[in-house]
Each structure stands twice: as C-alpha cells, then as structure tokens.
Amino acid sequence: MTLGEGRNWGSSSNGGMAYTGRLELYPLGRFSAKGDLLEGDFDLEERPCILIAGAYSYNHRLRA
C-alpha cells in the first residue's frame, strides 16, 4: 500500500491509496541459488524450472 498521489502528493488533501499485489507460481519447483531473483542465471539448473507471475495495481480515488 502506498499513497496514490505520485509526484503531486502535497498539492491536495483528498487523495486515495494505491494497492499493489503480485502472485508468483513455481509449477516445476523453485530455482536454485536465487536464479529467479538475478538478471542472469549463471548456475546450471539440474531440472527445468519456470516462473509464472502476475501483478495488479488499484489506485483508489484516482484523480485525473
């Protein structure tokens, strides 16, 4: 959860909140040696691995 105001957070007092969530699924098991967190996976995995993820963000009381 964060303030949903962005850069102009001090210009108004009637702003809302921003809610963000992320779901990660590892259907074939976890990666070894933090391979899913590093940009380059230099460790050879012993078995195939895959990460399926989705994210959602909702800005309550958004002002355009």
pLDDT at position 53: 93
Coil, helix or strand at residue 20:
strand
Model confidence pLDDT, tens digit, residues 24-38 = 999 998 887 766 666
- CA atoms of 60 and 62, how far apart (whole Å): 6
pTM: 0.60
Terminus-to-terminus CA distance in the chain, angstroms? 20
What is residue 22's predicted lDDT score, i.e. its pLDDT?
94
The per-type count for the chain, helices as H runs and strands as E runs, is 0, 3
Q: What is the band of 13 on the pLDDT scale with cuts at 50, 70, 90? A: low
Going by DSSP bridges, is the β-strand pair 52-59/2-3 parallel, antiparallel, or unpaired? Answer: unpaired
pLDDT band at 18 (very low <50, low <70, confident <90, very high): confident
- Coil/strand/helix, residue 22: strand
Please name the amino acid found at residue 49.
Answer: C
